[in-house]
Amino acid sequence: TLLTSIPPNIRCHFFTLQLSYEYALERVQGDSERGASKNPTFLRSLHAAFAQALLFLEAASVIIDTNGLTQDEVVTRLMALLEG
């Protein structure tokens, strides 16, 4: 499994970055490196799959709402959680 190669003395943290469809669409439209995720229909299908997995993700990880946050702000939140 994914965790078998992690030594027992290492603390594991799992984070899920949550972003609304609207914010995700706005972000990908401005990113020239994006491929299929720039397609609104494809992105909506990905977002729907994410929404279905959210119950599992909430139980298995810390959810961070990234709506309206810059990349630096997301990193700051992650660091605060890791250091806290």
Give the C-alpha distances (Å, rounded to integers) separating 39 from 36, 52, 56, 81.
6, 20, 27, 33
Four-residue CA torsion sign, 33, 35, 41, 42 = negative
Q: How confident is the model at residue 34 (pLDDT cuts 50, 70, 90)?
A: confident
pTM: 0.77
Task: Give the burial class of 68: count Cβ atoms within 10 A of its Cβ; 0-12 exposed, 13-18 middle, 19 or more buried.
Answer: exposed
Mean per-residue pLDDT, 11-33: 90
